[in-house]
Structure 1
Amino acid sequence: MQSTGETSTRVVVAVLTYRRPRDLAEVLPALRAQAAAVRPPARVLVVDNDPDAGAAAAVAALAATPGAELGHVHEPRPGIAAARNRALAEAAADDLLVFVDDDERPAPGWLAHLLDLHARTGAAGVVGPVVSRFEGPLDPWIADGRFFERRRLPTGTPVAVAATNNLLLDLRQVRAAGVGFDERFGLSGGSDTLFTRALVAAGLRILWCDEALVTDVVPAARATRDWVLRRALRSGNGWSRTSLELRPGLAARVRLSAAGAVRAGAGAGALLAGALVRRRPWRARGARTLARGLGMVGGAWGWTYVEYARPAARSATRAAAGRPPTSAAARR
């Protein structure tokens, strides 16, 4: 793996954060340890999306201790797309950028596995699996719906879309494609979906690395029915909106509407059947499928579900929804 051989590859691991000091305190030592184990050592960069730059002092204190290089940059513009673009900009002198979330914990060898598959394949992206760990007992509705069980694929499998919660990017290929994170999706979510779909549409490869595992620490506030259904609504909404960015037009809107309507109908049927025969898994999964389908239909006709809007930014976010994306240069 990458940790056993010397190369000249410059690697930065970017952690995007927003007011999660406890998570940073847990994840940064683990990331620094893995960054120090590869050759040459990688550096770790915290992109702080808190308007008050609340992570700065804690990162500075940790950076003063022995370990891999640790930096902090403040991105005050609201929205995860702005933070992702700041990471791209800060990696201008690097070859590889690895995104990981602040509420995730890397398994042993995680970074080395990502780097190894990239070294062997030259892929534009390498994405790994995410498994969930919960802070408390699960609502039976959540457990029966298996909503936090994510896909697992054989290593080397090409994928058409990926999130940035466990993603390596070959920056040379990304820059050549001129792809950045569309900041119109910054507070609604979906900028990583559009970004990775655009890379694949440009002919680049994103490969799965099943050994590069991270664990998502799920707080009680997210292990709820309301959160699951809102996330499904946003996911469907984002799929339609990103699809229209890649292939606009009335025909595409009609196709997405039809697909969403079919999904919503199937979800409603499963929800009803589950209620009639008292099968909680049917009810749970039917409700989520219904929510995703409704989100798809809404997104096909211009409705945007803003999941991450901060109270002071809601009106600005609505006004910005029709603004064109930033230029490729600015997004890098």
Structure 2
Amino acid sequence: MTAPERPRILLVSLTFKRPEDLRAILPKLVEQAESVDAEVEILIVDNDPDGGAEDSVRGFAGTTAIVVSYVHEPHPGIVAARNRALAEAAHHDILVFIDDDERPLEGWLDHLLETWRRYSPAAVVGAVISEYASEPDPWLAAGRFFDRRRLPTGTPITVFATNNLLLDLRRVRAAGVRFDERFGLTGGSDTLFSRQLAARGGALVWCDEAVVVDMVPDDRLTRSWVLRRAYRSGNSWTRTSLALEVTALGRLRVRASVAPRGFVRVLGGSVQAALGRLTGSLSHQARGARTRARGAGMLAGAVGSVYAEYRRD
């Protein structure tokens, strides 16, 4: 597929009851849109059942020449919001996702586009660095839980999240992938989407210069949040592995493979955490606890247990 010289881009941020973050990111998105040689529109997809972001977005839209649109997706769950973004991008060449609690650094969108033009992939994934609302406690700092991967630009990858992502919609449509509703309240739909896209021949590449800053709030700077997230990660990895299999025998093989790997993680993590307590190593204590939690999530997924991290009361 030949890339269009001046692609039509839909720059999307999904939001759910984060008015302050929305007010902070909208001017940043306009700056990015104005900095590239492309037709860029900005879209906010509001997953709040009450549509609480509408007035803020429509009010801001009147202050800029860049097209800023708002859509309300009341169906609960991030999958519905992600698929709504895909639907709204029906007449665009590129869809770019960024979380509403992130801030793009200068040149972010331009770097994504440059990498897309150079490698012609189905997806370009950018780097994420963390800034904290307050200083993490020593246990969290030692575990380095909010340090994200960094890879040389152009490195092929096999899985991604949607917090800093460019999708070539022509290749996505050709692959016939969408976000799976079964993962709407559990997390993992982006993992499954990316694994399906890669399995159907879509190249996924890294862009290390396209950086966004993740603003980590205090309610995530806790040991319980980190361990719940590790458990969910293990649980959703097992579930996405099962979802990729189309036969009962294939799913049985996945369960037979994942269960012992999960057990090894539980055992190994427990040993590492115990050694950390004996030696006074906070790093071993923290990372061992996370490994144990991820393994427990993998085991739970292997026996059919589903952890709904994003369930709403």
Q: TM-score, normalised by structure 2?
A: 0.96
* 1:284 pairs with 2:286: yes
5+ residue gaps, structure 1, are 1-5, 312-332
Aligned pairs (5 A) from 1:80-229: 80-229=78-227
Deviates more, 1:63-72 or 1:6-15: 6-15
Determine the C-alpha separation between the residues in 2 that align with 1:37 and 1:137. 34
The one-letter amino acid of 1:225's match is R
Q: Give yes or no for the alignment of 1:60 onto 2:62.
A: no
Contact 1:41 1:68 in 2 (8 A): no
| 8 Å Cα contact 1:32/1:67 also seen in 2 | no
The count of aligned residue pairs is 306
SS in 2 for 1:203: coil
Q: Secondary structure at the match of 1:251?
A: helix
Q: Structure 1 counterpart of 2:57, which letter?
A: V
* In structure 2, C-alpha distance between the alignment counterparts of 1:32 and 1:301, rounded to whole Å: 47
Partner of 1:321: none
Question: Aligned match of 2:257 in 255, 258, 266?
Answer: 255
Q: Alignment partner for residue 67 of structure 2, among 65, 69, 73?
A: 69
2:277 and 2:256 map into 1 onto residues whose CA distance is 31
Instruction: Give the match's secondary structure for 1:249.
Output: helix
**Cα deviations by residue, 1:170-212 (Å, 9 ceiling, x for unpaired):** 0011011110000110100000000000000111101000000
Superposition deviation, residue 7 in structure 1 = 3.0
Separation in structure 1 between the aligned mates of residue 41 and residue 111 of structure 2, nearest angstrom: 17
Deviations 1:204-247 (CA, angstroms, capped at 9, x unpaired): 10100000000000000001101000000000000000011113
Check the 8 A contact 2:6/2:39 in 1, yes or no. no
CA distance in 2, matches of 1:243, 1:158: 20
Identity value in percent = 56
Query: Deviation of residue 121 (structure 1)?
Result: 1.4
- CA drift of 1:278 comes to 1.8
Task: State how far apart, in whole Å, the 2-side matches of 1:226 and 1:48 are.
Answer: 28
Distance 1:215 1:261 in 2: 35
Matches of 2:76 and 2:97, distance apart in 1 = 18
1:69 shift after superposition = 1.1
Contact 1:46 1:72 in 2 (8 A): yes
Q: Does 1:234 align with 2:236?
A: no
Contact 1:33/1:68 (<8 A) preserved:
no
2:120 partner amino acid: G
SS in structure 2 at match of 1:111: helix
CA distance in 2, matches of 1:89, 1:135: 35
Task: Give the whole-Å Cα distance in 2 for the aligned partners of 1:162 and 1:67.
Answer: 32
Q: CA deviation at 1:40?
A: 2.5
Pairing 1:309–2:311 present: yes
Instruction: Kindly state the Cα deviation for residue 84 of structure 1 after the two structures are TM-superposed.
Output: 0.2
Residue 264 of structure 1 and its aligned partner are, at CA, apart by 1.0
Deviations 1:21-57 (A, max 9, x none): 0001001100111112212231110000000010000
- Measure how far apart 1:8 and its partner are: 3.0
SS at match of 2:310: coil
Map of 1:329 onto structure 2: none
Q: Distance in 2 between matches of 1:205 and 1:7?
A: 20
1:42 is paired with a residue of what secondary structure?
strand
Answer whether contact 1:7 1:39 (CA < 8 A) is retained: no
- The superposition leaves residues 77-107 of structure 1 with CA deviations (integer Å, 9 ceiling, x where unpaired) of 0000110000000000000000000000001
- Aligned residue for 2:25? 27
Residue 3 of structure 1 is matched in structure 2 by none
